Amino acid sequence: MEENHDLGCCEHCHENHSEENTRPNKVYKWFFTIIFVPFCLFAISHYIQGQIAIRKGKWKLVFIREFYYFNPFSRENKSEMVKSWGLYDMVNDPFENNNVFEKYPDVVRQLKKQYAEWCEKTGAVEWDKVNIWN
């Protein structure tokens, strides 16, 4: 049973969506594109390019890029990107429900500094300094 991975937006969209399970295939592809792909585009995951995380002790600092695509039915025809940081206490909040970024600025500074040092040492690009629109 071969799975249909032609759109490749995320692994969750393709679970149990083989060609055998979806007949006729042309209708499935149309339905998949209209219904499922928009959910994948706005999903936030640590595995999407442009997101980073650094962890030290109980703290985890996460950098998230959220993309907002233009609405083809709107007069405003522009895309934009929102950058945001999150700090999580992995001992008391292992599911990352409470962003404590504002409460612990010293921890944030320390982890950002360590991330910048790691980027310099390894030659990695700091994602918050990349302008993808040019």
First to last CA, the chain: 42
Residue 88 is predicted with a pLDDT of: 94
Residue 76, φ and ψ in degrees, nearest 5: -80, 115
Residue 53 is predicted with a pLDDT of: 84
CATH of domain 52-125: 3.30.1120.10
Residue 117 is predicted with a pLDDT of: 85
Cβ–Cβ < 8 Å for 88, 62: yes
Question: Over the stretch 89-122, which tens digit does the pLDDT of each residue have?
Answer: 999 999 989 999 999 999 999 988 888 888 788 8
Residue 52 is predicted with a pLDDT of: 79
Question: Over the stretch 48-85, which tens digit does the pLDDT of each residue have?
Answer: 555 778 888 899 998 876 655 555 666 665 555 556 78
Between 27 and 88, the more confident residue is: 88
Residue 67 is predicted with a pLDDT of: 57
Q: Please, where in the chain does CATH 3.30.1120.10 lie?
A: 52-125
Cβ neighbors of 98 (< 8 A, separation 6 or more) are 88, 89
Cβ–Cβ < 8 Å for 129, 93: no
Residue 126 is predicted with a pLDDT of: 63
Among 72, 65, 40, 59, smallest CA distance to 126 is for 65
Q: For the chain, what is the HEC assignment? A: CCECCCCCCCHHHHCCCECCCCCCHHHHHHHHHHHHHHHHHCCCCCCCCCCEEEEECCEEEEEEEEEECCCCCCCCCCCEEEEEEEEEECCCCCCCCCCCCCCCHHHHHHHHHHHHHHHHHHCCCCHHHCCCCC
